[in-house]
Every structure is written in C-alpha cells, then in structure tokens.
Structure 1
C-alpha cells in the first residue's frame, strides 16, 4: 500500500476515532442519568408500569421527529447536527438537576410524572444524534471497515453498560442523583469539545439523493420511496423490528426481574457484567469485521440470543441471570453492527439521513410499544398467573417456581421462542437471505477526503469540508 493510500484511510479514521471518543463519553454520562432516574422511579413506586412509562416518554418523541430530523441532517452540516443534539441533551440534564434542587429545598414535591418533560425533550434532541452519527460514518470510514466502525459504536454502548451502573450506584449511595447528573454535565462538555475539533467531508451527490430535492415534505417522502422500492431493505426492516421488540422487552424487564429477588447494588453489578458481554462482543466484531455476507452473522448471532434467554428463566439466581445477560448482550454488537453496515452500504451518502431516519422511525415505533406493553404483561398478566394459586402456577410454576419475578421469567421464555421464529422466517425469505447479492452497494470503496481533525480550518481535497 502506497503512502498516499495509507493517508487516505488513516486521516478519515482519525476523525472517526476523535468523534467516537466524544460520543463514548457522552453515552457514559447519559447512561448515568438514565440508570439513576430509572432506578429512582422504580424504587419510589415499585411499579413496572411507571418504570416502563418513563421509557415510553424517552422514545415516543424520537419516533415522531425522526423523519424530519433525517431530512434536516441531509440538508445540514452533520457535525452541527450532532452538536445540536449534545447541547440539547446537556440542557435536559441541567433541567432535571434544577428540578431535584428545587425539590430538595422544599419548593415543590417531586412526582414521577415530573420527569416526563425533560426525558421527552432529551428524546427530541436524540432524534438528531444517532442518525447524524451513523450518516457521518459513511463519510469518514472506508467501506470495508464499516462493520468494524459500527462494532465500535456498539463497544461504546457496552462500555456504558459496564461503567454507568457502577458509577451511578456509587454516586447515588454517596451524593444522590444530583451527583450523577453533575458527572453527566461534565461528559457533555467533553463531547462538545471533540466535535469542535473535527470537520467532516460533505456527502457525494447521487441521482437518488437529488430526486427528492424540494420541500421538506418532498424530501421526507424520498427516504421512504427509496426503501419501499427495494424489497430486501423492507424485509430487513421487518426482521429488525421483531428483533428490537425482543431486545427492548428484555432490557425493560431485566430490572424488575432482578429487583424481585435482590437489591439495587446487585442489579448494578449484573448490569456491569452484562456490559462486559456487550464490550467483548463489540471488540470481537471490531477485530473480525463480520462474515463476507453480513446476513449469516446477523441470523446466527440472533438465533443464539434466543437460546440464551432460556437461561435466565429457570430460577432466581444472580449468577445465572448475570451469565445470561452477558451472553445475550454479547450477541447484540454483531447483530446490530451487521444490520447497520448493510444500510450504510446500500444507501447513497446524501440520502443516508432521510432513509436511515425512516428506518429508525419504523423500528423505533416498536420501542414505545414495548414500553407500553411491558408493564401490563408483567404486572397484570404473567406475574399474577405465577403467584401461588395463579393460572400458571400448576404448570409453568413447577418448572420455574412461583412468586415475584417468575411471571417475567415466563415472558423471557416466550421472547426466546419469538426470536427463534424471527430467524427462521428471515432465513426462508429469499429477498432477505440474498439481499447482499441482489442490491448493489451505493458507496465508493473509500470515503471523500477529510481535513486533519486537529486542524479544523484546513481545506478538504475532493470535497467541501463541513
């Protein structure tokens, strides 16, 4: 490889690593707040429904705004879109901080529903954050490294799973939720600083991207038109929707499952062990890069995750649940990085924001749905059924035991079966199975040249700097 070729790859990847580091710190801070607020709501109310409602308000605005956000991301400088998202998230953290301080001083009584507004505002800004980041990846990472780059994004999530519960648990015990929020605010400043250090090349103009140019509504429709004309992408979106439903329900219900037989400190340790699994899965995927046909890796790891869910059900054991959680999250980076890589490769860079936002909106519709049904499924159906004398006590109770948390264990078994069914249907669908062969790549092998990340004002060769 010549020196020029090495520079072409290294320079964009340097921008990626700086951006990735800033977002990693931001995710860690957001994880602190998410863990702290969620734990406070559940411990104050002991209601799975209230806990799930908080998740609903964290997701619903993002779903509604995603098409608009994606269109604006394709119009705007993507770095500035990410800055807007980080600034907005910092504001919402400060808003929660102010509410807690006012409550501590006796100015008003803090209720669970008071968290809904700042959480919803954070969701609005979040509608810009991830579409802008993943659309930017295609501009600064060579095509052959997309799987690795997306895996590193999953590593950031895994690192949050490991460190956020530990730090949040320690801070809550010592200085309360206010201390958690203080650390989150510091992480916000680091994330903004890294974004100010870099510049991104502009997307390459494509015929598909130019077809929808016009009003905001027209450009929004173009994202859906691009996806709907490609049956393989539609099939992938449906497959991902079912996978996300299973994942979201597992993540939502693991907290009440664990707290049914142990304390919040143990929950934090289990969450950290699970995060180690996610971290190892992301690192492994980052080194490996995935199979030549990403669908093989996606289906294989997703099937394994379904089998793992059966491990968490048999008995209320900390060791068993921790092992199952770690193995389950180990499968997530290969699955999600593989899916994301396919979307990035098959969609032109100047259409990434719109198409990805439509995909994200449809899939994110699943997450509020999961948040809404998780509570009633656990509190009103399966938990009562698995109590002494419940309708399932004489059947499933013999296998799993009866009492608090056993109804959620039954839900985990159902989710494992649903996961395996999703894999089977996906494999039998030729449009999905042959997607990588039937739909040509829309990206060049190497991204547009980017300026040096440490010299933001340097000119960009071959593309205008953002």
Structure 2
C-alpha cells in the first residue's frame, strides 16, 4: 500500500497542472469573440473522442506492455501538448482548433497513463483492499478538484494563461522524473501476441461468462450520457449569470464533495452489494438534478455540486473496485478498455448534441414558456440549461427504477461476493500471483532481481 500511495501522489501532482490548464482554457475559450455553448462543447467532444475510440486498442497494449513505460511515456506526450499550446499562445496564434487537436492527443496519452496505473493497482493492493485504495485515489482527486477552481481564476487574472501553461509543464516534469528514478513493481502481462480479433473474443467470452455483465455496461452507458450533458453545460451555465470567481467557488464545492466521497470510501473495508448501491445512488442524483431545475441559482449549484460529486465519487469507486475484483489482472487492460469504449463513447455524443439541444430548448422556452425566464438568473441560456437538468433528473429516476427490477443486474452482486469469499478462503493456501503479496515476494529476491523489478 505504501508504494501505491507514492505512485498515486506523483500522478496527482501531474493531474494538478493538467486541471489548472483545463480550467484556464475553458474560461479563455468562452471569452473569445463569437463563442457559444456549441463551440465550447465541440472542444470537449474532440478532447474525449480519440481516447474513447482507441480505448480497446489501448487496453490490449496495457495487458502486454511495460506499465512503467506507458505511464512515463503518456505523461511526456501530454506535457509536449502543453508546451505546444504555450508556444502558440506566446506568438498570439492560439485558436480553438489547436486546443481540440492537442486535447485529443492528450486524451489518448492520459488513457495510457491511467489504464496502466489502474491495471497495476491489483498488484500494488490486495483485492480485499481495492475499495479502500480507490477511495484513497478519489480523496486525493477531490483535494485537487477543491483547490484548483479556487486557485485557477486567481492565477488566470494575476499571471495569465501563459504562466499556467508553465506550471503544467513543471508538474508533469516532476512526476516523470520521479517515476524514472523510483522504478515500478512487476505487473503480470499477457503472453498472447497482439491480435485484436482474439482480444475481442476474450472480452466477449468474459461478458458471456459473467451473467448480467452486459447490463452493467449498458447501465453505465446511460449514466455516462447524462453526466456528459450536465458536465459540459456547467461552466457556460455559471458564467451566464456570474463570473469566473463564482465559478471557481462552485467548482471547489464540487471538489469538497469528491473529497468527502473519497474519504468515506477509503475507510470502508469492503462493499457487499455494489450494484444495488449504484442504483440507489441514481435515485439520489435524480433528486439533486430536479432540485437544480426548481431552484437554479449559485447557492443551489454549490450545494448540488457537493452532493453530486460525493455520490459520483462513491459510484466510481464502487464500480472500479467491482471490475478490479472480477477481472484477472492480465486481462484487465483488454476488458476495461472495451468497457471504457462502450461506456465512454456516450460522453462525446453528449458533448456533440448538447449545443443544438440547448438551442432547441431555448426556442421552445421562448415560444411556450417565456415567463420561465423570470424564475432564473441570467439569460434564456440559464433557463434552457435548467430544463436540461430537470430532464436528466427524470431520466435518472426511470433508469434507476428499471434496473432495480433487473434480476440479472442484481445477480452481479452475488458474483462479487463470491469472488471475495473465494479470495478469503484461498488467501492462506494459494500464492496471490497478481495481488499485493507479490511485492513482498519480489523484495526477497536477489539484489540483481530487485534492481530489475522493484526500484523503490
């Protein structure tokens, strides 16, 4: 667990700089002449699509390649992208399409980094501590989400986006150098030759073997779409009736929620019925979205941000621990890569349609409910986005209710419990080749093997 904490801290240092830059770029894009929700969401679309589309291929590589090299290489590629944007801005040439290209490349690089680290987690941490480990990572991410939105607007005004780019470069450099010096643990790799057709058969066989797993994928497919709609609308919503400082405060409140959710999950030893939990979390999120529809203002959004991010963090920790428990470590890259593609593809779709959707809702409100504007701050944009929040709340209730009745989906809880029970029964009898125990075994090897396998 100590090694896991060190590697996680390094990734979070790099992520801090990335999030700082992302916040600054979001404000910068919306400040440009002629910007709109459609043009803003289009940047999000091109940022998300490459990584999502290539997720199955990246997953296949993660299973076969050296995890340390993937983590270091991915961060270097992302850092070069930040350097390119900084150079373009310095020469007064930076445009939205530049950001789209660099963001797209960065999404692929980040996919390599975090998929490789996620696949390594089952080696760094034993399966009965995966909920705690994922809760810990969510806690650290929550700290970043809480601090960046407060710090970013101040830095944006005081030192400008150019200096923020420089901070990003410094943070990723620290992480890369530290990873190179510290080394990494040995992670089980697939000996199969790269064959995407065979990889697809492996994934299909796993989904068929684990009854109800296809329901898991489709459930999070729908969740990803709704969250995608809300997330891309959040910044233009707040800036429509306020400024970047208020936006920073509200986003920091969301960071507090992520922190609280992470802390809660990091103290839990295990979670007995994960699928039942995510359904109940769906009901709670729907109530928050409906609350935003009826009482849309900066205070409501701040409270909603805390609750939504806490619930979302808990949901993500549960789902990640569930996947890491059920999937053998040497297959995690391929199976999780396919799941990332099938689930994640909805977010870019949401980013693509959300601009036209908001424009249509504005026309609808203008024609049928013009008095609705008096109920909300800002312009008709705020009213239209509030309606989208309400629709998302209604859909969440319907989805959660339908899945609550699905026996196959609920049976996944039995599979999860059975896997944990088998782990406990065999822990003292069978060596855990892809668990945290391998770290202790490696440390008893010869000095030569230590240098090759464990550099910490």
TM-score (norm 2): 0.89
Match of 1:61 among 50, 54, 59: 50
The answer to whether the 8 A contact 2:54-2:108 is kept is yes
What's the counterpart of residue 41 of structure 1?
29
Shift of residue 398 of structure 1?
7.8
- SS of 2:184 mapped into structure 1: coil
- SS of 1:200 mapped into structure 2: coil
The answer to whether the 8 A contact 1:71-1:220 is kept is yes
Q: Deviations over 1:310-355 (max 9, x none)?
A: 2222244211111111111110111011111111111111001111
**2:60 is the alignment partner of 1:81:** no
Shift of residue 441 of structure 1?
2.9
Match of 1:382 among 356, 361, 372: 361
Shift of residue 238 of structure 1?
0.8
The answer to whether the 8 A contact 1:273-1:326 is kept is yes
Cα distance in structure 2, aligned partners of 1:314 and 1:279? 27
The answer to whether the 8 A contact 2:272-2:413 is kept is no
What's the counterpart of residue 193 of structure 1?
177
What's the counterpart of residue 139 of structure 1?
123
- SS of 2:380 mapped into structure 1: coil
Closer, same or farther: CA 268–454 of 1 in aligned 2, 3 Å: farther
Shift of residue 465 of structure 1?
5.3
Shift of residue 399 of structure 1?
6.3
Shift of residue 163 of structure 1?
1.6
Higher relative helix content? 2
Shift of residue 228 of structure 1?
3.0
Cα distance in structure 1, aligned partners of 2:256 and 2:26? 21
The answer to whether the 8 A contact 1:314-1:400 is kept is no
Match of 2:309 among 323, 329, 345: 329
Shift of residue 227 of structure 1?
3.8
Cα distance in structure 2, aligned partners of 1:399 and 1:457? 71
What's the counterpart of residue 158 of structure 2?
174
What's the counterpart of residue 412 of structure 2?
435
**2:90 is the alignment partner of 1:98:** no
Shift of residue 454 of structure 1?
11
Unaligned runs of 5+ in 2: 428-434
Shift of residue 280 of structure 1?
0.9
Q: List aligned pairs for 1:388-427, cutoff 5 A.
A: 390-393=367-370, 403-427=380-404
- SS of 2:185 mapped into structure 1: coil
Cα distance in structure 2, aligned partners of 1:80 and 1:173? 37
Cα distance in structure 2, aligned partners of 1:400 and 1:386? 12
The answer to whether the 8 A contact 1:245-1:366 is kept is yes
Q: List aligned pairs for 1:173-252, cutoff 5 A.
A: 173-196=157-180, 197-203=182-188, 213-229=192-208, 230-252=210-232
Match of 1:268 among 244, 248, 252: 248
**2:9 is the alignment partner of 1:29:** no
- SS of 2:84 mapped into structure 1: helix
What's the counterpart of residue 7 of structure 1?
none
Cα distance in structure 2, aligned partners of 1:59 and 1:435? 29
Closer, same or farther: CA 351–53 of 1 in aligned 2, 3 Å: same
Cα distance in structure 1, aligned partners of 2:152 and 2:172? 16
Cα distance in structure 2, aligned partners of 1:322 and 1:85? 34
Which has the larger displacement, 21-30 or 402-411?
402-411
The answer to whether the 8 A contact 1:261-1:316 is kept is no
Shift of residue 392 of structure 1?
3.3
Shift of residue 54 of structure 1?
0.7
Cα distance in structure 2, aligned partners of 1:460 and 1:51? 51
Closer, same or farther: CA 316–309 of 1 in aligned 2, 3 Å: closer
**2:112 is the alignment partner of 1:128:** yes
Unaligned runs of 5+ in 1: 1-12, 104-108
The answer to whether the 8 A contact 2:60-2:194 is kept is no
Cα distance in structure 2, aligned partners of 1:124 and 1:279? 26
The answer to whether the 8 A contact 2:443-2:454 is kept is no
Cα distance in structure 2, aligned partners of 1:123 and 1:92? 11
What's the counterpart of residue 450 of structure 1?
439
Cα distance in structure 1, aligned partners of 2:121 and 2:436? 9
Which has the larger displacement, 340-349 or 222-231?
222-231
What's the counterpart of residue 144 of structure 2?
160
Cα distance in structure 1, aligned partners of 2:354 and 2:225? 10
Match of 1:304 among 284, 293, 298: 284
Cα distance in structure 1, aligned partners of 2:241 and 2:109? 36
